[in-house]
Amino acid sequence: MNAQPSIASIGFASRHLDQIATHLDRKYETAWCYLQPTDRPCFSTRLLTDLIGWCRFVEQNAAPLGIRYHVIASNTPRIFNLGGDLELFRRYVIQGDREGLRRYGIACIEPLFANIRHFNGDVTTLSLVQGEALGGGFETALSSDVLIAERQARMGFPEVLFNLFPGMGAYSLLARRLDPKRAEQMILSGRIYSAEELQAMGLVDILVETGEGEAAVYDYIKRENRARNGFRAVRKVRDYLHPIGWQELLDIVEIWVDTAMRLEPRDLRMMERLVTRQHQQGIAAA
């Protein structure tokens, strides 16, 4: 049975957001952020602008609002997020606009880093994946403390197909959950994995049947609340032993930009085909 939380509006300062939907469940002290891109289901600059604004709001207001949990999910049926804006990448590379590509990369890692560092406070972060999470979508899912996936979900890093790599935290996040060798193998394979495979690898923390994702979020919150002091301590130890810092993410973005600027025409043609696929998947999900 799906949980029926009591919902109260957060009253987020900017009321012109159309790329995300947010609400606060006061009963469970949980803020929800649903990705809902109106064009292709990828990280467009519009989506990133809304997401950065939201993350800054949570950082500033988590304590006053009593937010102890944050969940990132998606309002797009069958899709969590398909990753970077390949159409934008391609245009920047063709134009030789290194700085534009760099600005985009930095915009991607800002909300990711806010999630990794618990919004600069004592917030447990959860990702709920109910569809496809590719590239930057998978990075986003991995950036949370807890990754909950429904059985139909699929995740992976296809960037190697167009001679690039996921440059917004994938290696760091995978190496923290697995190890560097397996992180490289996953990134270089270009494979898309089932949620069941990822659970076996230890990347998906909780696997549930289709339609049970939100209930699983609340089941986890109830379980953590029974021993929150211990859960918090384990998280602090993990962050101490396996830190992911801003400078690390920024330096990797620089490597990603340098790599992207060396893409060849055949790589850009493959990217163009994947842009078409993003459009098709977005239309099918609408």
Domain borders along the chain are: 20-279
Q: How far is the C-alpha of 250 from the C-alpha of 37, rounded, in Å?
A: 25
* 0.75 surpassed by pTM: yes
DSSP string, 212-263: -HHHHHHHHHHHHHHTHHHHHHHHHHHHHHS---HHHHHHHHHHHHHHHTT-
Task: Find where tokens 């990217």 sit.
Answer: 271
Q: How far is the C-alpha of 118 from the C-alpha of 55, rounded, in Å?
A: 10
Q: How far is the C-alpha of 270 from the C-alpha of 274, rounded, in Å?
A: 6
Residue type, 10: I
Q: How far is CA 31 from the centre of its chain?
A: 16
Q: How far is the C-alpha of 214 from the C-alpha of 184, rounded, in Å?
A: 32
Place 60 in a pLDDT band, splitting at 50, 70 and 90.
Answer: very high
Over the stretch 131-189, which tens digit does the pLDDT of each residue have? 999 999 999 999 999 999 999 999 999 999 999 999 999 999 999 999 999 999 999 99
Q: Which helix H or strand E contains 130, and what residues bound it?
A: none
CATH architecture of 20-279: Alpha-Beta Complex (3.90)
Please compute Rg for the chain using Cα positions: 18
pLDDT at 284: 65
Q: How far is the C-alpha of 142 from the C-alpha of 145, rounded, in Å?
A: 8
Q: How far is the C-alpha of 54 from the C-alpha of 42, rounded, in Å?
A: 17
